[in-house]
Amino acid sequence: MYLFYVDLYPIMKRILDVAVVLGMLVFLWPFFFVVALLVRWKMGAPILFSQDRPGRGGTLFRLYKFRSMRSPRLGEEFLQNDVHRLTDFGRFLRSTSLDELPELWNILRGDMSLVGPRPLLARQARRHEVRPGLTGWAQVNGRNAQSWAARFEYDVWYVEHCSLRLDLKILAMTLWTVISRKGVRAQGQATMSEFMGNE
């Protein structure tokens, strides 16, 4: 019976992802429209930030988010630093997680899941055994305020203990994490320090 459940869980998880996201889009589409207009007004084009990220099995996919940093203008080389390029509106988007709304499209496409390790640039073998998630065990245990080493440990732990019960627990904890805005950025950083591959 247990083996039957384990085999079915990835299918159940995918069905749940699609059903929940479609339901969310019914209510959230006005937020998409308003945020897109505000990003265009305050930071110009493009509205979306996109980047290749490794997903399940290390396969690259294109991740989409609302842009929260403005591009450097001529003579503003110092804006290459994320702290300076991040606007006040961008900070608001990140602290409320509104910048991540376009990732719902990645979930519908099957690139990501509602729950799983975050799709970071670093390639960690165990993390890629499951689809990356919109939220995850690392996000509800410190978010960007924790070290990269700790984030990877949380991600690997999730892979080893993945279950419907754990996913539901993480979704419930995510609501509080978003409301409290805890761990949005690491000390002295716009979000968190760059992963240098030595943690």
Predicted pLDDT of residue 198? 38
pLDDT digits (tens, 9 = 90+) for 100-147: 999 999 999 999 999 988 776 654 567 778 888 999 998 888 876 677
What percent of the chain has pLDDT above 90?
Answer: 35
pLDDT band at 189 (very low <50, low <70, confident <90, very high): very low
**Residue 105, H or E segment:** helix 103-109
DSSP designation for 110: T
Predicted pLDDT of residue 66? 94
Predicted pLDDT of residue 90? 87
CA–CA distance, 152 with 7 (Å, rounded to integer): 25
- On the CB side of 124, CA atoms within 13 Å amount to 26
Whole-model pTM: value is 0.66
Short-list 83, 107, 132, 101, CA closest to 39: 101
pLDDT digits (tens, 9 = 90+) for 92-101: 998 888 999 9
Mean pLDDT lowest among 1-5, 12-16, 97-101, 116-120: 1-5
Locate 12 and state its tokens.
């159940």
- On the CB side of 65, CA atoms within 13 Å amount to 17
On the question of pLDDT at 195 being above 50, the answer is no
CA–CA distance, 71 with 79 (Å, rounded to integer): 8
CA–CA distance, 25 with 28 (Å, rounded to integer): 5
Predicted pLDDT of residue 6? 57
pLDDT digits (tens, 9 = 90+) for 140-181: 888 766 777 788 888 888 988 999 999 999 999 998 888 876
pLDDT digits (tens, 9 = 90+) for 46-84: 999 998 888 888 788 999 999 988 776 665 555 455 566
Looking at the chain, which runs of residues are DSSP E strands? 48-54, 60-66, 113-115, 133-135
On the question of pLDDT at 186 being above 60, the answer is no
Does residue 10 have a cis peptide bond before it, meaning omega lies within 30 degrees of 0?
no
Query: Quick one: average pLDDT of 36-53?
Result: 90
pLDDT band at 193 (very low <50, low <70, confident <90, very high): low
